[in-house]
Amino acid sequence: MDTATHITMGVAIGGIATIDPAIQQDSALFQAVFIGAIVGSHAPDFDTFFKFKDNATYIRHHRGSSHSPLAVLIWSIVVSLAVYLFSMEIPFLNLWLWVLIAVSLHVFVDIFNAYGTQAFRPFINKWVALGWINTFDPFMFMMFVAGGIAWLLGADPAQTYGIIFFIVFLYYIKRFYDKKEITDILYKHFNDATKIITQPTIRQNAWRIVIETPDYYHVAFSNDGQIDIKDTFKKRPLPDTAEMNAAFSDKNVQAFRGFSPIYRYEIDRFDDYIEIRFIDLRYRSNGHYPFVAVVTLDKFYNILTSYTGWVYTEHKLQQKLEPLQ
């Protein structure tokens, strides 16, 4: 989820925590839990700092090991200790348990969007991205904002957020069936489909879709139940060649391939260099595919430049590549 929704969920955990008898009797503990829940609800996304190094590191690690079971435990302890240092007379166990719930909720809800997480690492390094909920879901965000307003106006926070979490639970079930309705239709139409990836958008009934069959990739858009095939690409196996193997050795390409579950490639040969481009098919926007990895090689297959990330015009992409030359 986005930062704003994670933080409002942290506030919600702070409200739910008022059911704890220890918190009811200790205002200092309540304040500590409230702050810890807000910080803990965002803590796994502190890995965003990887972006300051480079895109490859960010793509490889964002929502990766930082969202694993071990990381959840570490985040909860670190956040709890940081808060505890300012109020050491409070019971640490109560503080830690509520912070742990906030951190765990962060990782749990991230599983349901299209970006996903490596929430089962190191047991399974696969990205888990169920594709039910958009990264920013206006309905969920407004529900938690409404809960905060109701709390400020005097409503019981535990009861208020208990109702809101129940509504959100029902909403997740609805979104599951929304996705299932679309995929059922597509599997009937493409009876040889081997994979269907859905990406919900900010609009309730609008979805980006990629269908993989043995011979083709179909990129589609669903709006109010009407499915429109936007692009179709012939599948080509990745060649076992010196130039492709050289591209695979590049860190930007490795990060892209580790993250993207469905992509195609293009090879362009020029007089003095070769360009190999890997294109993620999930993020089609206005006829453009912005998430790519590009590597250029000289005639001896040495890497000249490379880049991975989101770019929305060819001009911007070339600008990204030029400083690396």
Q: Which ranges of the chain have pLDDT less than 70?
A: 51, 61, 322-325
Buried b (16+ CB within 10 A) or exposed e, 122-144: eeeeebbbebbbbeebeebbebb
pLDDT for position 7: 95
Q: What CA–CA distance (Å, rounded) separates 194 from 67? A: 28
Q: Residue 262: name the closest of 245, 240, 284 by CA.
A: 284
The answer to whether 262 and 282 have CB atoms below 8 angstroms apart is: yes
pLDDT given at position 259 = 85
Residue pair 312/288 in contact by the 8 Å Cβ criterion: yes
Q: Is the pTM of this model over 0.75?
A: yes
Q: What is the pLDDT of residue 154?
A: 95
Q: What is the DSSP string of 205-269?
A: TEEEEEEE-SSEEEEEEEETTEEEEEEEEE--PPP--HHHHHHHTSHHHHHHHHH-SSEEEEEEE
Q: What is the pLDDT of residue 324?
A: 45
Closest CA to 195 of 119, 239, 131: 131
> Distance from CA of residue 123 to its chain's centroid?
19
* Spatial separation of the C-alpha atoms in residues 259 and 180, rounded to whole Å: 24
Tell me which residue of 138, 177, 158 sits closest to 13, measured CA to CA. Answer: 158
- pLDDT given at position 304: 92
Instruction: Please give the pLDDT value at position 296.
Output: 92
For residue 325, the model assigns a pLDDT of 44
Is omega for the bond preceding 122 within 30 degrees of 0, making it cis? yes
pLDDT at site 61 = 67
Encoded tokens for 322? 């030029």
